[in-house]
Amino acid sequence: MAWVVLFVSAALETVWATALGESHGFTRPGPTLVFVATIAVSLGAFGYVLRHIPISTAYAVWTGTGAALTVLWGMATGAEPVTALRLLFIAGIVGCAVGLKLVPARSTRGRPRRDSVPRTLPRG
């Protein structure tokens, strides 16, 4: 489930980044409101993801996926040119994100799992 939320959060990154550009320095209320709403949901979802996926992997996948989707959106809307090299580099970003998902996490033998560490210090 955390991986699904991560990709939804990355897609929302595309929305808020596009809205930020369209807000013209927060002078246009519509895009500004879209920016504020989607960045809040995107970062909230990303915070949830970090409880389940190590930040090193999650952040790389989140930013890479968001960047690739933003460029693809720019191409789809005609704001950016579609070239073979751009598509090749986007494929590279996506390939790296998939690779990070497929590589197994390093063993944590002998150390408690991050989610099993007490949140407060024991009294004593």
Report yes or no on whether pTM surpasses 0.85. no
12-21: Cβ within 8 A, 24+ apart: 12/38, 12/39, 12/41, 12/42, 12/45, 13/42, 13/62, 13/63, 13/65, 13/66, 13/69, 13/70, 14/66, 14/69, 14/70, 14/73, 15/42, 16/42, 17/66, 17/70, 18/70, 18/73
The pLDDT, as a whole number, for residue 109 is: 56
The pLDDT, as a whole number, for residue 97 is: 82
The pLDDT, as a whole number, for residue 107 is: 55
The pLDDT, as a whole number, for residue 56 is: 86
The pLDDT, as a whole number, for residue 122 is: 58
The pLDDT, as a whole number, for residue 20 is: 96
The pLDDT, as a whole number, for residue 40 is: 97
The ranges of the chain with pLDDT < 70 are: 105-124
